[in-house]
Amino acid sequence: MPDFQILDPRFNAFILHNAPIKRLASGFDWAEGPVWFGDHQALLFSDIPNDRIMRWSEGGLTTHRAPSNYANGHTRDLWGRLISCEHGLRRVTRTEWDGTVTVLADSYQGKPLNSPNDVVVSPDGAVWFTDPHYGIKTDYEGFMAPQKLPCSVYRLDPSGSLEAVITDMACPNGLCFSPDGTRLYVADTGRQFTDDPQHILVFDMVQGRPQGGRLFHKVDAGWSDGMRMDSEGNLWTSAGDGVHCIAPDGTVLGKILVPEVVSNLCFGGRARNRLFITATTSLYSIVLNRQGH
Ligand code: MG
């Protein structure tokens, strides 16, 4: 099977035709939430159903944290600390440098969050996360629970105040900012079990808040879950057949074809040009001619 599908000639400059996709590790039940630690040349990612965070480096694969409270998406804050979404305890946490865990958010207006899914940090240091209901609708160890809040996108200010900033999406999931911080992209996976194509919405950032949400892209294979930006503002999103690269104007430039359904991805490596891809049971990587933002 070829590793690439070129849909726009511009994509030829984005890839290295002699750099194939590699399977780095396998044996997971649902791999998700990759985050790169350049200071350790290591990748952390979740194996959600097995309640563990894994650590991959060229030296091998180890279990980083178990139990993980069914952690899903991760990112790092402006100081490099690990920020995690936990389905099990329905919260967003920060792991301090000494290893202790600080709860950043677990409720809104007195009601428990649903199951924080994916998280990014904006240039002003705010933590933005999505809170769909998947973790309380999926029977991992009896976590089925009544939903108390709409599925929303939240912004946690560095002061600690939490604000629901997008409340009208079905199931907000992956999210990312454009490199200049003027746009926010959010995947909506709420319609994944219907015939309606999957949506990525784009919002303009106006005075630090998303406004004017509109359709950016409909994924034509499976659904868009996690996504990341390269340094030029091209969106790299997970999909059912691999990773799709979408230009800022919405043109699909090409695909990296992956033999398993992709959940999420992140850039890493010494030059930030290595794309790490979590896909169902496996972790993959591919070296690109583009750098992550
Ligand atoms: Mg997700």
pLDDT tens-digit series, residues 129-157: 999 998 888 766 667 888 999 999 999 99
Residue with tokens 């599925």, as numbered in its chain: 151
pLDDT of residue 58: 96
Within a domain: 236: no
In-domain check, residue 164 = yes
Q: Measured between alpha carbons, how far apart are the two ends of the chain, in Å?
A: 29
| Number of domains, the chain | 1
Question: How far, in Å, is the centroid of ligand 1 from the Cα of 18?
Answer: 30
Neighbours of 164 (CB within 10 A): 14
Separation of alpha carbons 87 and 70, rounded Å: 5
For the CA atoms of 75, 81, 87, 92, the dihedral, rounded to the nearest 10 degrees, stands at -100
The SS3 call for residue 156 is strand
> DSSP string covering 4-71, please?
EEESSGGGGGTB-TT---EEEEE--SSEEEEEEETTTTEEEEEEGGGTEEEEEETTEEEEEESS-SSE
Asked if the structure places residue 287 within a domain, the reply is no
The domain of 87 spans 25-228
Place of tokens 């990112």: 75
Q: How far is the CA of 117 from the centre of ligand 1 (A)?
A: 5
108 falls within a domain: yes
259 assigned to some structural domain: no
Cα(233)–Cα(206) distance, integer angstroms: 18
Does residue 288 lie within any of the structural domains? no
pLDDT above 90 coverage of the chain, percent? 86
Within-domain flag for 188: yes
Ligand 1 ion: residues within 5 Å (CB): 117-118, 173, 225
Write the CATH number for 155.
Answer: 2.120.10.30
Q: Would you give the DSSP letter of residue 234?
A: -
Q: Is residue 185 part of a domain?
A: yes
Q: Residues 77-109: pLDDT tens digits? A: 999 999 999 999 999 999 999 999 999 999 999
Tell me, in angstroms, the distance from the centre of ligand 1 to residue 140's CA: 16
pLDDT value at 195 more than 90 = no
pLDDT of residue 190: 82
Q: How are beta strands 162-166 and 31-37 bridged, if at all?
A: unpaired
